[in-house]
Amino acid sequence: MIDVFDDTYFMRKALQEAEEAFERNEIPVGAVVVIDNRIIARAHNLTETLNDVTAHAEMQAITAAANFLGGKYLKGCTLYVTLEPCQMCAGALYWSQIDRIVYGAKDEHRGCGVMGTKLHPKTKMQGGVLQEEAADLMKRFFIQKRNLN
């Protein structure tokens, strides 16, 4: 049995959530929140399903994790998300005081890095974990969307 999982393991779990979003005709972004090597929240984009522009995978994961922990702060937690968080999600992650954010593909147009969004001073962020898989899923989704229209 594996005692310690690595970033790739948890990013694969986030990619499974992104695949679920893809199947639901949602932009394929998936997320998981982990504490002590245990997944406490899983989420994917639900903006179309809920008719809610704020229903990003990260927002859904923050809410689920906070409910699991019984508090609004995600100290000691890591968010694994398949796409670099946008400005809105980065703001929510700031307020959650999450310890670490690990993302797959960079969002060259709307990512928090491009927008210059500040994270909580104690939050660490790392990108590029399973970047190609995450980017390929996004590309497939938008190619399919273009071909259907």
Output the known binding site: 56, 86, 89
Does residue 89 contact residue 107 with C-beta atoms inside 8 Å? no
* Residues of each annotated binding site for Zn(2+): 56, 86, 89
Strand pairing of 77-83 and 30-35?
antiparallel
Phi, psi of 102 (to 5 degrees): -120, 125
Whether 58 is catalytic is yes
- Compute the C-alpha angle 36/13/29, nearest 5°: 115
Does residue 106 contact residue 81 with C-beta atoms inside 8 Å? no
H-helix or E-strand spanning residue 38: strand 38-44
Catalytic-role residue among 58, 84, 132, 133: 58
Cα(57)–Cα(18) distance, integer angstroms: 9
134, 62, 68: which is closest to 94 by C-alpha?
A: 62
What positions carry a catalytic annotation? 58
